[in-house]
Each structure stands twice: as C-alpha cells, then as structure tokens.
Structure 1
Amino acid sequence: MSNANHSDNHGHGKIGLTGLIVGAIGVVFGDIGTSPLYTIKEAFLPHYGLDASNPAEVLGLLSLIFWALMIMVTLKYVAIIMRADNDGEGGIMALMSLAQRTLPKGSRGAYAVGILGIFGASLFFGDSVITPPVSVLGALEGIEVAAPQLHAWIVPLAVVIMLVLFGSQRFGTEKVGKIFGPITLVWFLAIAALGVLNIRHNPDVVQALNPWWGVNFFMAHGWHGIFILGAVVLAVTGGEALYADMGHFGKQPIRYAWYTVVLPALMLNYLGQGALVLENPQAVQNPFYIGVPDWAQWPMIALATMAAIIASQAVITGAFSVSRQAMQLGYIPRMLVRHTSKETIGQIYVPGINWLMMVTVIALVLAFRSSTNLASAYGVSVSGTMLIDTLLLALLAKSMWTRARWWVLPVCAVVVIIDLGFLVANGAKFFHGAWFPIALGVIVFTVLRTWRRGRELLHEEVRKEGIQLDVFLPGLMLAPPVRVPGTAVFMTADKDVVPHALLHNLKHNKVLHERNVFLTVETLNVPYAPHGKQLKIDAIGDEFYRVVIKFGFMETPDVPQALMRSCDRGGTYFDPMETTYFASRETIVASAHRGMPVWRDKLFATMHRNAAPATVFFRIPGNRLVELGAQVEI
C-alpha cells in the first residue's frame, strides 16, 4: 500500500471521505464507544468512596471524564500522536520503529526503545482479551434492568456470543464489516439522544464541562482522589485505537469522526447519566440502562450487544495485525496467517492467536461473571500502553520534530504525569483483578523477548560454525561436483555465510545445481518496502547468485512471487517449475552456562519446534521445498 493511499484525503471525493468516516466509526471507535455502559457505574462502587447524593462529587467525576477525553484522546492522540506517520501506519510497533530510527543502530537507547515498544505490545494483548468480555457483559447486563428474573442467563449468553464470535473469524470480516459502521453510527446517535433526554431532567449538569469541578474534586479528596482515575480511565480505553488504525482509514476520516460524532455522543451520554444520578442517586446501580425509557429497553440491549460485538471484533482484528507485525519483526515464532479478502491485504486470520484468545476470554467470563468485576481488571494494561506511547512520542518529537517540539514536549510532560496517575490508580486494584492483565503482559513479554534473544543466539551459533561464502566458493570451483539441471534456492539468514543446507546437500547428494541462489529475507522497520527496492540480485560467478528480498512489517512475505518480479523487470529468470528451495530445520538443544537460563532455552526450543514451517510462512510450494535438519546447541 502506497503513501498515496494513506494521505489525508485518501484520494477520495466527498462520498469517499464520508464512507471512510462511517467505516472508521465502526472499526476504530467500538471500544471507547461502549465505555458508557459501565464507566459511571464502576465509579460509584463502594471502594471508591464517592457519594452519589453529593452534586459536587457527581459533577467532579463528570468533569474528570470530560477532560480525560479532551487531554488524553483529543489532544494526545488525535492532535499530536497521529502526526507520527510511519509510512501511513500507526500503532505502538510502528511508533517504536520510528523512535528507533532516531537512535544509532545497536545503541543502548535503541535497545531500551525496543524493550519499551515490546512491553507496550505485550500489554496490548492484555487489553485485547479483556475488552470482549467487559463490553459484552456490560451490554447484556441491561437484562437485569429489563427483566431481573433472567439474570442467570447473562453469563451463558456471553459465552455463546464469544464462541460464535471467535468461531466465525476464519470466514473473515469483509462482508460483515460493511455493516459495522452503520450499526455503530446508530449506536452513537442513540446514546447521544439518550443523553439529551436525560440532561433535560437536570440541565445544570453541563457545569461539569468547567475544569474547576475536577480541580475541586481533588482539593476535597486530597491525594486519595487519584484512585478515582482507576474508573475514569475506563472512559478513555480504546483511545489508542485511533492511532493504531490510522493506516486503514487515514488521519482525516478518524479526526472528523471523533470531532463530529464520537466525542459529542460520548459526552452527551455521560452528562445524561450524571443528570440522572443527580435526580435519583439510586440510579448509580446501572445509570446507562435506568436512563432508557421502558419501551426502548430491549431494543437498546440488542443495539448495545451488537455494538459490543463490533468493539470486540475490532480488538480481535487488531490482535491479528499486531501479531503479524511482531512475526515480521522477529518477536514471535512464525504462525499460520490466512488472508480472508482478495481486495484488502489487512483482512487476515491467525488461527493460533484466535483460539488462544477465545480460551482466555471465555475463562475470564466464567471467572469474573460481571462487567463490574472485570472493570477492576480493566485499565492497567491500557494505562501502561498509553504511558509508553507518550514516552516514545517525546523521544520522536525531541529528535525529529524541530518545529513542533517547543510545544509538544511540554504537553508530553503534562501527559506523562496524567499517565502515571492512571497507572498508579489502576495498580491499586491489583488484588481486585488488575493482577491478570499485568501477569498476562509479563508472560507475553517474556515469550517475545525469549524468542528474539533465542533467534540471536541461534544465528550466532550458526555463524560461528559456518564458512565464509567468499572463501568457500573459489575452493569449491577448483574441484566442482557434478552439476544437475535446475535452480536451487538456499534460504539463509546470513548472506555472507555458506548455508548449512548447501553443505548438507553436497555431503549427502554430492551434486550441485546448474544455478544456485543464496536467498536472504529481510524485514524492514517500515510498513511497506519502497517500490523498486524489494529485490536485489548480485551475480557472484559460476552461476551463483546472492539475492536479498525485503518486506515491510505489514506485508506478507511471498518469496516465489518476489522472485518472479525479477523476470517481470527484465532481470534473472526463475522458472518456478525448475526451482527447488532448500532450507535448514534446526533442532535446538538447551545448554546451561550459555546464552540464556536453561528454562528460557527450553521455552525457545519449544517455540522453535512448533513454529509454522517455512513452506507456509514464505508461501513456498510444499512440493518444491527440501528441508535438511541440523542440531544446534544454545
């Protein structure tokens, strides 16, 4: 996908821009759009100590929510971070790549930025498994208001919805995705209308837009007031999706959608819930659904459930996308990736991630059983990711944004303080459920770092035992073996070392192909490899070639197709029916006193053994691939 596709106007006219805005509303804002289902209700739980009968506390809470949306989402993400355009793509992995470019390659700073980015991506997975259950349970809990006798059906219904949602991922979301935008647009219009309806009961609630009520809240509660941010953060969860999905819709449609539809609808609904609580403090039990007229209860439950499912779908799709980026950048093992759309490259399905998320999500539904319980676990991973986003943004602004850094850096300093406040407030809920996303994030981070470090150690061992190519080939040609027709492609991570597969082939088969290609696949720190620079072929004599294929981290590495491009451009011709691919398949042996602790060596060995074969990952035809085994001790 070219930069042109990611430009502000996307090359669309008025109709095209409107379509993109509606699409963005469906995909980008599903998570933050369902937050009104549980945010106010969570804030008035007993452990926060708020008094629903005290107007100053109700207005203070609403003021904090409004200014959190304005500072953390509108200012930080919509106005500033979306300027950090990595070839049109956004998200924490893209931001990490941008920040690393500002530092010397291999430096401690670049290493630290990599650690930050990967930890942020790990926390994202913690968020992605909590969003579906908390959103769906929050929507279904309207049943308690409409028909209390059906309370026992809420959890089973949530489990059935999750089974259907994850079970249908393999069919893709292209067709269903076309109705996501209109349904979510109806949802935002409905909650805005509901907010206006309830504001009429107490119009004075609009005073909450004055920041003084938020300041007064902290003055009245002292330092204990920081803990209410553990509930306020629920209103901004999903804010980072604006940046993560920038590559799909572009900056302008997302900004228009936020300013004209999403932000007004959210604040009208929050103010409406506040007006309801000011009129009737008992409404804090479920202010969203209690504010719905009796005739609209069941339609609203159905609409909220659809909105929650769409929000969950957006998070699942995001998890697939981040997984592919992490795979391409070498942080997780190769996994099967299926494309579910012929038109849209971003429509992918990763079975391993899908089933792992499904098991985790259903376990969360059965363990926590309500959106209130899950809300205690929700927020800490989002807060951590947002803090890391701010730190990476500050580094990028300091190094590259020479004209804007005079005002961006002070904003970052203020936002870091707020991010830390959110993190502390959510950390205080550690024993009430926040331990789960933290534990999951640490596990995912350990897996990612172990895979990355294990690959480095594996390549070091292979290189240590290898023979330099420029020394080997002249010696080989002094007494050349029998040459057979066809082309042999030897896949190697190090283009200067003789591939093990070639040595094994010579040792056991005692033949050499007519043409031999040493192929190295590189993943760049940009989403898409620059046009015309994806393929480089160097002839090194006697029908030996060194080939380097470059892919961006958003691309699917299709090696045979990349080699065919050489023919299309008038270069070396690779006949697919006369080409055989050779790859080494290493067996990892864990060893004490080497690179990593033995338990991490064993973890890496397990992941390496279960990684998708090169046939699948590089899209090499199975009937054209020969894998030769080798044992490597790390």
Structure 2
Amino acid sequence: MYRNRLIINNTKSFVVPNSQNNKQKKMTDNNYLKGDEKNEDLENRRKIQKTFGFLGNLILAYKTTGTVYGDIGTSPLYVYTSIFHDPPTDPRDVYGTLSLILWSLAIIPFLKYVFIILRADDNGEGGTFALYSLLSRHSGLTLRGGNGDDLTITNHDSMSVYSNKEKPNFIKRSKLVQRVLLVLVLFGTSFVLSDGLLTPAISVLSAVEGIGVPVPSLKNAIVPISCFVIICLFLAQRMRRLAILFAPIVSLWFISIATIGIWNISHHPSILKAINPYYAFEYFIRNGSSSYHVLGGVLLSLTGVEAMFADLGHFNRISIQICFTFFVFPSISLAYLGQGARLILDPAVSENTFWLTLPATNGPIYWIVFILATLATTIASQSMILATFSLVHQAMQLDCLPNLKTVHISKKIEGSIYIPQINYVLLVFILIIIIAFKTSANLTIAFGMAVAGVMIISTIFYSIVICVVFKLPAIVSIVFFLVFGFIDAAFLGATLVKVKSGGWFTLCTSTLLCFIMLVWKWGTTLKVKYELRNKTKLDDIFASNFPEQEEQEEQEAQEQEAREEQESDSGDSSQIDKISQTIVRQRSKNIQLQLLSTGFPINRIPGIGLFYKEAGMGVPLSFCHFIRHFPTVPEVLIFITIRPIPIPLVGEEDRLVVKKVGHYKKVYQVTGRYGYMENISQGEEFITKLITAICEIDPIAGTILEDLKNEVVTYVVGHQELVARSNSSLWKQVFLEVYSFLARNSRQVYTNWKIPVDDIIEVGMKIVV
C-alpha cells in the first residue's frame, strides 16, 4: 500500500491524494513504473511482459546478452593466459585451476548475484548506489539537510521505509557509520569507474591479439590496431542505432565459444572430471601458499558480474536469471572446459590459450571467430562506457561530482546519455593504458583488483541490507558476510599481493577518484549547512504592516475610480490626467512590501521570479543578498529547493511540494524532488506544472496560469565561493583549494536544467568556513 503524504509544517500544501487510481501505479520488486510517461523504454518493457508473459521475459533475456553479459562473455579470451605464464607441467594443475574457475562462476555470479543480490533492487534499479540509497532511506537519512520530506513520496513501496516512530537503527545513531558507508559507496563507484578504463583496453587488446597467431609479422601492429578500434568506438558514442545489433552479435559469440568448447572437450572427455570440487582443494593442498597467486587469474573469469546488478534497471530480475542460467553459464563453462582439455593435450597453447585452441589457426573458422571476438569485445567496451556515463550522472545528481555537460542521445529513452568530457577523458586514458601495458596479460592484475574491490563492497552493503531493509535476523547477515566476504577477501588479497605488477594502477586511480568525490561532497555539504544555519524568514526582512496598507490603498483606489467616472461623465478630465492617475494607482498597488530595517518600499513588477536555494525551508541567501541591492521583486515570488532523493526515479505526483508563505501575497515555497537516475528540468514545461500546482493552493494565482505565456520568468541562482578562515588547519585549506579548483572548472549546476540562458541572474557570495 502507498504511504500517505506528509503535510509540511501546518500550512496548506499542494499534495496529490492517494486515490484508488494510484493503485494502478503500484510497483513490484521487479518492475518500476515511473510517473513520467516519457520513458518509453521502461514502458515498452512493461508492455512486453504484460502482453507476452513468460515469452516477454524470454525476449528481455535475449536482449540482456548484448548489454549485461558482454564483459563476462569475453573473459575466456585471456583467463588461462593470465593463469599460466609458463606451460603447465602437471595435468593436475589444469584440473585444479579449471575446477576453481567453474566453482567460482557457480558461487559468485550464479549464486551470489543472480539469486541473492538481485533481490535488493531499489524500485527496479541496481548497483552500488541502489544499495546505498536503500540503506539511507530505511535509516531515515536525507542526502541534504532539511525537513526530510523526501521520505514521504508515494512511489517507493516495494519495501517499507523508515518512520519517525521507529527506534533509530545503528546507521541513524552513528555519524561514523554514515561516513564509513559514504566512503565505501564512493570507493565502490571509483572501482567501477576504473573498470571503465580497463575493460575497453583489455577486451580490445585480447581480441586483436588473435591476429598475431596466423600472421606473426603483425604482432607489432596489435597496439596500433587496438588504438584505432578504441578511437572509432569513442568517436561513435553519439550513434546509438547500432545498439540493435548488440544482442545478436554477442549471442553468436556465446554460441561460437560453446561450440568450440565442445569440439575441444571431444578430444579429451575426461576433462569433465574438473567439475568435481575435489580438484580445487587438492590443488591448494598440493601447492600450498604458492598456489594463492592463481586466484588473481581465476578472478578474471568473474569480470562483469557487477553489470548483472547494475543493469537491472534496463531489464528485470527474471530475464537476467533466465539468460545467465540457461545460456551464459553453460556457454562459458564449455569454453573453459574445452580450453582446459587442450592445455592438457598441448601445454604450449598457454602462450595464447584461446586463439591456439581454435579448430584451425588459419582458416575461415578462425577469421570468423576473430571478427566475432573483435565485435563482442567492442560491444562489451561500449556497455562499460555507457555504464560509466550513467554512473557519473548519478554521482552528479548526488552531489558527489562536479557538474558536467550531459547530452541526451535519445528522445525516447531518458537514460540514454552522453557526457562529452568523460568520453574524451576515457579515450585519452585508455589509449595511454594500451600503449603503456602493450598486452592483455600485463593488464590482468590491474583489471582483477577493480573487480575484487567492487565485489567485496557489494557484499558489505548487502550484509547490512539484510538487517536494515529485509529485517532478517542478524545471524543471516553474519553468515552471508562470512561466506561471501571470505571468498571476496581471498580474491582481493590475491590481487593486492601483486600491486607492484600492475595493481598499483587501479589502486591509485580509484583512490584519486574517491578523493575527488569526497572533497566535492564535503564542499557541497559545507555550503548546504551554511545556508541552513543562516536561513531566515520573510518576517525578518519585510515589515508586517502592509496588509493594512493594502486595504487603505484599495479604498483609495475605489474612491479614485469613482471620481474618474464622475469626471468622465462631466467631460472635465483630460486624457493626460487619466494616464497620470493610472500610473500613480498602479505604482501604489505594486508597493506591497517594505524593508523592516529601513522601511524602504519594495516594488512588485510583473513576472515570475524563482530564487533557488541549496536546502531546507526559509529564504535563500541569494534573495537576502539580492534585495539589499535591488529593491524590486517579481509579482510572483517563488523560493525553490531542488532536492535529490535517495531513490532512482520520482513520479510526477511526487515531484512538487508547494506551500504559500504566510500572509504574503503571491509568495510561495517549493521543493522539486528528483531521483538520482533522473535529469533535472526547469524549462517551460516545468514552469507550467509549477504554476498549476500553485493555483491548486492559492486561487488568487489563477490569473498567472492564464497569462503564463506573456509572463517574464526570471531564475535567480546563488554562486557561493568557499573561503578558508585565516586560522584554518592545513588540511582544510588544501581541501578548499581542491574544491575551488574543481568548482572553477565545472559547469554551473543549472546548465543542464533546460533554462534559457538569457533568463538567469547569478548572485555571487563568499562563504567563510
């Protein structure tokens, strides 16, 4: 059932009642229905499921192959080569490592992600941010300060949310826990962003390396060809029509590696014994501590597991489960079994296991597989790039990254975005990585650390979700953490052992990205807290005697009109006198406010003025600063807060919270709420909805909606610059310098809000912290 909406304070607010019609919008844990019908991708997904039932889920399962499983599906290109740097001398080593690969696939992607973690969706959305938003909402935390009205929306009923009547949990009680969770989610995000640098590099390199087997003379051309493919990939980011080919190409890739695997198994059927986990234990017992390093190579078979959770919002849980269980898992298992069989028969193929185990090293089949591999790795890279764009956009919405230009590629699919700065930064860094590391084998250690880091952070968050969100006994959470945390820690430890060999790159990159996000979040929080501490009320700015003044003016106006009528009948009044008297009367009507400190009158001019504030109720600092220098305000005065909400999407029935400010005529407080997956829009359509909402609570504002097209809309935003005190500590001064540098080189927050540039007024202020 939907929760009732909260009435802010005790004044009349604009809310949408929870009628019986709202029940049609109820969500399940698999299917999120956004209030905004523009998102045709989600709507089409619902229609497919509703119309075709199980067949609809099969269609979605087919589509997941191109978006979700490209990364994990191309792992057979480099896993064995990274494990066996030298040809294996003992067949038992092949059986042991193969058993480790198969059971790792069964435990981590199959059990942990597909059948456990996928259940912790945030209204249909997945990923690290989804787990964090679940914990925040169910602990009563808000992303910014204020009244916490973001916890009263009607459209996140898949799980119960925190109530003020409930006893605060350990997250709500402890600031330290909140900070640790924030650092963890940002580190997890940093690992995924690092993965966005490494996936295109290692995937494309491993595919192009296949050209060196039949034509050894082209080995020196592998790096230039890989760079060329990457450049073409990034230059084509605005072209999304080719995405329709992703699922067919990746499906053909899975069929091809499964077929090749079966062919290789037929040469040594006894390799199927590796399914027995005994061989994995025997490998560790026989080799002792020296075998620990092999986990770093086995980890590469798990690349892309986080995509199954992060891409949940584009499909649904059932479709992802069907595809992995009946298609992806059998295909890659057969591929690894086949490669293992050939390694036992010919250990020398470990030099380039995938390409040397094809049926022919220079024939039509080889070149068909080479083309498929190149296309599949390009698609896997493209999926990771799109995920990076989406993740950066979410981080910007949550005040964790500076604002960057966001381009919407598709008018039908709202989530289809392109961020030019990120695109070219990725391109430059990936080219540097390819040129520096030269081979896919050199990149495997750095790649593995990013995967292991995200895995263990997801385990930590899900362990807390079990208690806080699912309300299960603590023993369930402890068992989950001990089992999967031990496995994840083992993989992470295996990559940390080889930090000097390449893991340093991921560690340094992730730490730098996390530092940037923490500094930006810290600086933004400082500004919000400053505004909350210094917020004021209109009664502290304007005199409160103007209602009597208005009554007196109205009476004088009526008497003036009566005199004009008499003079008009007698023909004694001239046209010039009439115009003069009309101007005086209009000026009198506009003087409805006056400053409390000086008594100076404030004129109300025709138009609509939106004064933006960081958080909370009260008057924005920009308005206080503005009114001291320009004693004129628009007739319709709106103080608006854009509040990021810890859920993916906010329905239109929950978008606005509007209330009238005291007895002031045509003055309103507005909160506009947006989820972390949404794009903030403050253009013409938003203004129409806003004025409509205002008319619902204030009948006197009805004339505004009628004349909206003729009204001048002015957007007033504050630009706060943080300045350190003279006695501030060194670390604080350094953080402020970094934050100021990022702020100077980032776009203003309102640049992506679809606001006409000519209608914006920016009020600058310095904040000493």
TM-score, with structure 2 as normaliser: 0.78
* Structure 2 equivalent of residue 492 of structure 1: 613
* Paired amino acid for 2:85: L
Q: Which moved more, 1:459-468 or 1:440-449?
A: 459-468
Separation in 2 of the partners of 1:94 and 1:400? 12
Separation in 2 of the partners of 1:104 and 1:517? 28
* Structure 2 equivalent of residue 6 of structure 1: 31
* Structure 2 equivalent of residue 67 of structure 1: 103
- Tell me, yes or no, if the aligned pair for 1:397 and 1:409 is still in contact at 8 Å: no
Gaps of at least 5 residues in structure 2 are: 1-24, 33-45, 142-171, 545-592
* Structure 2 equivalent of residue 562 of structure 1: 686
* Structure 1 equivalent of residue 676 of structure 2: 553
* Structure 2 equivalent of residue 602 of structure 1: 737
| Partner-residue secondary structure (3-state), 1:496 | coil
> Aligned-pair distance for 1:104?
5.3
| Partner-residue secondary structure (3-state), 1:72 | helix
* Structure 2 equivalent of residue 93 of structure 1: 129
Match of 1:365 among 429, 434, 439: 434
- Tell me, yes or no, if the aligned pair for 1:230 and 1:422 is still in contact at 8 Å: yes
Change (3 A) 1:459 1:400: closer
Alignment of 1:461-610 (within 5 A): 461-474=530-543, 477=594, 479=599, 480-540=601-661, 541-560=664-683, 561-567=685-691, 571=696, 575=708, 577-591=711-725, 593-594=727-728, 597-610=732-745
Which digits, 9 at most, give the CA deviation of each residue in 1:16-64, with x for residues without a partner?
Answer: 3333112110000111111000001110015xxxx61311110100000
- Tell me, yes or no, if the aligned pair for 2:446 and 2:506 is still in contact at 8 Å: yes
> Aligned-pair distance for 1:399?
2.5
Match of 1:438 among 498, 507, 510: 507
* Paired amino acid for 1:629: G
* Structure 2 equivalent of residue 230 of structure 1: 296
- Tell me, yes or no, if the aligned pair for 1:468 and 1:498 is still in contact at 8 Å: yes
* Paired amino acid for 1:312: S
Match of 2:251 among 158, 182, 185: 185
Which digits, 9 at most, give the CA deviation of each residue in 1:473-525, with x for residues without a partner?
Answer: 45654644111111111011134343233234323332121110000000110
Separation in 2 of the partners of 1:125 and 1:94? 16
> Aligned-pair distance for 1:146?
1.6
* Paired amino acid for 1:317: L
- Tell me, yes or no, if the aligned pair for 1:426 and 1:434 is still in contact at 8 Å: yes
Q: Which moved more, 1:476-485 or 1:376-385?
A: 476-485
Separation in 2 of the partners of 1:321 and 1:2? 26
> Aligned-pair distance for 1:568?
5.4
Change (3 A) 1:2 1:358: farther
Gaps of at least 5 residues in structure 1 are: none
Change (3 A) 1:584 1:507: same
Match of 2:751 among 607, 611, 616: 616
| Partner-residue secondary structure (3-state), 1:142 | helix
- Tell me, yes or no, if the aligned pair for 1:615 and 1:622 is still in contact at 8 Å: no
Alignment of 1:134-149 (within 5 A): 134-149=202-217
Q: Which moved more, 1:493-502 or 1:368-377?
A: 493-502
Separation in 2 of the partners of 1:64 and 1:83? 26
| Partner-residue secondary structure (3-state), 2:672 | strand
| Partner-residue secondary structure (3-state), 2:676 | coil
- Tell me, yes or no, if the aligned pair for 1:39 and 1:232 is still in contact at 8 Å: yes
> Aligned-pair distance for 1:227?
1.7
Change (3 A) 1:474 1:510: closer
* Paired amino acid for 2:506: P
Which digits, 9 at most, give the CA deviation of each residue in 1:158-199, with x for residues without a partner?
Answer: 111111111111x142x1111101000000000000100100
Is the aligned partner of 1:36 residue 2:36? no
Separation in 1 of the partners of 2:642 and 2:293? 49
Separation in 2 of the partners of 1:550 and 1:471? 27
* Structure 2 equivalent of residue 388 of structure 1: 457
| Partner-residue secondary structure (3-state), 1:630 | strand
Alignment of 1:43-442 (within 5 A): 43-46=83-86, 52-103=88-139, 105=141, 107-108=174-175, 109-169=177-237, 171-173=238-240, 175-294=241-360, 295=363, 296-402=365-471, 409-442=478-511
TM-score, with structure 1 as normaliser: 0.95
| Partner-residue secondary structure (3-state), 2:50 | coil
The percentage of aligned residue pairs carrying the same residue is: 31
> Aligned-pair distance for 1:623?
1.9
- Tell me, yes or no, if the aligned pair for 1:590 and 1:605 is still in contact at 8 Å: no
| Partner-residue secondary structure (3-state), 2:606 | strand
Aligned pair count reads 628
Change (3 A) 1:515 1:102: closer
| Partner-residue secondary structure (3-state), 1:559 | coil
* Structure 2 equivalent of residue 633 of structure 1: 768
* Paired amino acid for 1:359: V
* Paired amino acid for 1:616: T
> Aligned-pair distance for 1:2?
8.1
Separation in 1 of the partners of 2:477 and 2:293? 27
Separation in 2 of the partners of 1:333 and 1:374? 30
